[in-house]
Amino acid sequence: MVASAAVLVVPALYQAAPALAQPHFLALGIGVGILSSAIPYSVELMAMERVPPTIFGVLLSLQPFMAALMGFLVLGQHVSALEATGLVLVIAASIGVTVGGKNASIATEPVAA
């Protein structure tokens, strides 16, 4: 986030300089920053301590779906059939690895031929 902010700060200041002098817009910007990163990250850290790893992994795999749902409800964005298929495949793969991964083992020694 720091790197992207450093890249975008000059064009943003050039375009939004008049708005930055208004406290209302500064408060909105701070609010968006807190609500979009600080609070969700804190909630995830608290959940990670209290929820079993498999359940936490499944819940995290639902994030793409929730993002698409919020995009639809709040912004009116639509998901194409190809994008919906991609969402389903990513979620299914994540759930499969999370749930099935606890019994799988990774070979640490090479197999002799």
Tens of pLDDT, residues 2-39? 888 888 888 888 888 887 778 888 888 888 888 888 88
At residue 101, the pLDDT reads: 65
pTM above 0.75, yes or no: no
Residues 6+ apart with CB under 8 A from 47: 56, 59
Strands of the chain, DSSP E: none
- Tell me the backbone φ, ψ of residue 76, rounded to 5 degrees: 75, 20
Q: How far apart are CA 8 and CA 2, in angstroms?
A: 10
Which of 50-59, 91-100, 103-112 is predicted with the least confidence, judged by mean pLDDT?
Answer: 103-112
In angstroms, the CA 22 to CA 11 distance is 18
